[in-house]
Chain A
């Protein structure tokens, strides 16, 4: 297992290199000169040259990249073009917000997806199955921002069970954190739970037809042990792949759901940064997102190897 982790970690090195090059090239790929963006229309030629010098834009590309990478590796992602905020500070401040939203919605998606998928698979073509399949279709079709607004209307505005907007950090009050994260996490997780439920159902139906399930039942094992130990462990193999993909989807979806619930997460930061072409901020955000996705993939590979002996390096 350790070997698998090391193998995957080593494979990350070239990937991260490519991502860093692409992220860095943002500056040169944009049609506008960053100095223009900062100075604005009415700057003088002198001011313009000063800014270019300060940003190092007069240097050749390769030394500039090396310099940028060096600083990025030390956690220095530069300063925002617009308000002199350290990019790493801004990102690190918002990261826990988006992470808790994504993590809670992934958890909800997994639990709902597993429960619905298993219930449907145990009795294929039954009413439970039809209901779950129908629900999954609806769940995947509903846009998360619309569902979020619906949730706010019902549970925040009418019933007043949850706050309609805002986010309380886990560290300041776990209870308030849970209340503030519940509605956005449900809105965000709906489509993913539907996707996971579908995958769980089809994987379970396939596994339950295998002879080792018949053998386990013939040995007199309890129904619970047959379903959870023998069937689910094997059915989870394809589910893990879907879950990992869904977490990436959730990270992207979080940016939109944050807007609906007025949560100050990476999404708000990203949208502002993109709108004013705040290049260092965009670079920082892209890097952080990529690293998150890469971590999820790494975890997926490890879990996959744990569940499926055939995937382990021998």
Chain B
């Protein structure tokens, strides 16, 4: 990883206050519990986890849409979590976003040209003609054409709409784009096109991505590093290849097993094993100990009482699991533990 990260998140907590029932008392719900992450310039970090794991809350906190309850979010030299109201314009325009559902993420009353030019209108002093010219240029970057400028979102397909959203995110030449499940609302053939488009743009423009997804298999192709979230905790992170091929945390392994196998016999065996294991609801507020302990197939006594720290994993990265600690200890003396990443 590079010396000075572009985005650095340290011990971030995101808390929502929920009203329960008829009473006006509000109860805290911690969506993110002490997450630490960093992204280098031009790097793609894949953030995966099941729904409700807090990955979108991290995205919202980075975008300034929800406040950080505690911890810090640094972007370049700017400390964003301290900004109570709005980010400084400089940081603001360098972080853009693409959201999941292209049928909901484009304003239906605006033309595509206006949607793509909206960030330019707000953050630059460009004239109407300049904005229009730039919007036409941006549409070409995402394989749409100038003639689409005057059309409205409802005249486009899902994939085309997502291209429009990407064009708008590229408008200000940001250094970081938060991609919140950018392909999961699309059909599979379109998914690949969008992922490839993002891939090309990243290589051409040197943008860093915070790529949020629930599908580890899809993400590992275009991510440099992967972080895995479970119930508000980052349970494992490391180089994409290592996390995918040698997952150190039992939860990461479970995520990978959710991807169907091509061999029917092996898939059948796995499904039988999954059915045999007891199904456990994920608790919203974990008790003490490891948040995964009541679902974990290799749970140990101490998992229920103590929260494992992030232990280094061979091949790079860390895993918050006592198994990773044991594996590190079992390593023959003299061989230095790999602390890369």
B87 at interface, CB cutoff 8 A = yes
State the interface size on chain A (CB cutoff 8 A).
21
In the complex, A230→B105 CA distance in Å?
Answer: 11
Residue in A closest to B85 when the chains form the complex, CB atoms: A223
Q: Could you say which residues of chain A place their CB within 8 Å of the CB of B168?
A: 215, 219
B271 at interface, CB cutoff 8 A = no
CB distance from B49 to the nearest CB of A (A): 19
**A310:B154 contact, CB within 8 angstroms:** yes
**B65:A217 contact, CB within 8 angstroms:** yes
Interface residues in A111-144 by Cβ distance below 8 A to B read 125
Q: Could you say which residues of chain B place their CB within 8 Å of the CB of A211?
A: 99-101, 104-105
Known: A309-B152, A310-B154. A216 touches B65 (CB 8 A): no
Interface residues in B87-143 by Cβ distance below 8 A to A read 87, 89, 92-93, 95-97, 99-101, 104-109, 111, 118-119, 122-123
In the complex, A309→B106 CA distance in Å?
Answer: 13
Q: Could you say which residues of chain B place their CB within 8 Å of the CB of A212?
A: 104-108
**A215:B109 contact, CB within 8 angstroms:** no
Interface residues in B69-95 by Cβ distance below 8 A to A read 86-87, 89, 92-93, 95
B63 at interface, CB cutoff 8 A = yes
**B107:A216 contact, CB within 8 angstroms:** yes
**A230:B107 contact, CB within 8 angstroms:** yes
Contact with A215, one of B64, B93, B105, B154 (Cβ below 8 angstroms): B105
Q: Could you say which residues of chain A place their CB within 8 Å of the CB of B122?
A: 219-222, 225
Q: Mark A153-175, 1 if CB is under 8 A from B, else 0.
A: 00000000000000000000000
Q: Could you say which residues of chain A place their CB within 8 Å of the CB of B154?
A: 309-310
Q: Which has the most chain A C-beta neighbours within 10 Å: B93, B107, B165?
A: B107
A83 at interface, CB cutoff 8 A = no
A25 at interface, CB cutoff 8 A = no
Contact with B109, one of A214, A217, A233 (Cβ below 8 angstroms): A233
**A216:B118 contact, CB within 8 angstroms:** yes
Q: Could you say which residues of chain A place their CB within 8 Å of the CB of B92?
A: 220
A308 at interface, CB cutoff 8 A = yes
In the complex, A21→B188 CA distance in Å?
Answer: 60
Q: Mark A198-220, 1 if CB is under 8 A from B, else 0.
A: 00000000000011101111111
**B105:A125 contact, CB within 8 angstroms:** no
**B65:A310 contact, CB within 8 angstroms:** no
In the complex, A231→B175 CA distance in Å?
Answer: 28
A307 at interface, CB cutoff 8 A = yes
In the complex, A96→B137 CA distance in Å?
Answer: 54
In the complex, A220→B94 CA distance in Å?
Answer: 10
A234 at interface, CB cutoff 8 A = yes
**A218:B96 contact, CB within 8 angstroms:** yes
Q: Could you say which residues of chain A place their CB within 8 Å of the CB of B119?
A: 219-220
In the complex, A210→B103 CA distance in Å?
Answer: 9
Residue in A closest to B118 when the chains form the complex, CB atoms: A219
**A218:B63 contact, CB within 8 angstroms:** yes
In the complex, A216→B64 CA distance in Å?
Answer: 12
Interface residues in A221-273 by Cβ distance below 8 A to B read 221-222, 225, 230, 233-234
Residue in A closest to B99 when the chains form the complex, CB atoms: A211
B19 at interface, CB cutoff 8 A = yes
Q: Mark B10-23, 1 if CB is under 8 A from A, else 0.
A: 00000000010000
Which B residues are closer than 8 A to A by beta carbons?
A: 19, 63-65, 86-87, 89, 92-93, 95-97, 99-101, 104-109, 111, 118-119, 122-123, 152, 154, 165, 168, 178
- For the A-B complex with A211-B104, A310-B108 known, give 19 more contacts whose Cβ atoms are closer than 8 Å: A210-B105, A212-B105, A212-B106, A212-B107, A212-B108, A214-B97, A214-B99, A215-B97, A215-B105, A216-B118, A218-B64, A219-B97, A220-B119, A221-B122, A230-B107, A234-B107, A234-B109, A308-B109, A309-B108
13 cross-chain CB contacts under 8 A: A211-B100, A212-B108, A214-B65, A214-B97, A217-B64, A217-B65, A218-B95, A218-B97, A220-B93, A221-B122, A308-B109, A309-B108, A309-B152
Which A residues are closer than 8 A to B by beta carbons?
A: 125, 210-212, 214-222, 225, 230, 233-234, 307-310
